[in-house]
Amino acid sequence: MSGRTGAARAIRVRDRAARRATLYDLLARIDRLTPAERMLLVDYAQTELAASDALRSSLVGVERALQERTEQLVAAEAAIVEAEQDRDRAAEALAAGMRAWHQVVPSVHAA
């Protein structure tokens, strides 16, 4: 992570923590809020909801990518199993061919 990204993240974390602290304070005093404080409460609640929506959207994208990678991994594993089975069948066919060859070859040399 670059310093700029880390610094930006730290600012976002600090701002979010400050908004939440203010939000909790305002909610605790909801029956005594001034009109300006009520507007601030609405603004902070909307900001937090928007951040939550953005996070949820990002999470959906991450989950989708994870599912795609999981499906690719399952397909790759299946291809490996199939290739190993093909290899084993080929080895068995080769061994059978070699056994047959060794049975034929001595009779050719004997004649």
Tens of pLDDT along 52-98?
Answer: 889 988 998 999 999 999 999 999 999 999 999 999 999 999 999 99
Half-sphere exposure of 85 (CA within 13 A, CB side): 6
Total-model pTM: 0.51
| Tokens (6 digits) for 33 | 């809020």
pLDDT beyond 80 at 108: no
| Amino acid letter, residue 32 | R
| Amino acid letter, residue 86 | D
What per-residue confidence (pLDDT) applies to 2? Answer: 58
- The angle formed by the CA atoms of residues 93, 94 and 95, to the nearest 5 degrees, is 90
Supply the range of the domain harboring residue 31.
3-110
Half-sphere exposure of 58 (CA within 13 A, CB side): 6
Helices (H), the chain: 3-28, 35-110
CB 60 within 8 A of CB 42: no
| Tokens (6 digits) for 49 | 């909801």
pLDDT tier, 23 (very low <50, low <70, confident <90, very high otherwise)? confident
More confident residue, 71 or 103: 71
- Structurally, the chain folds into a number of domains equal to 1
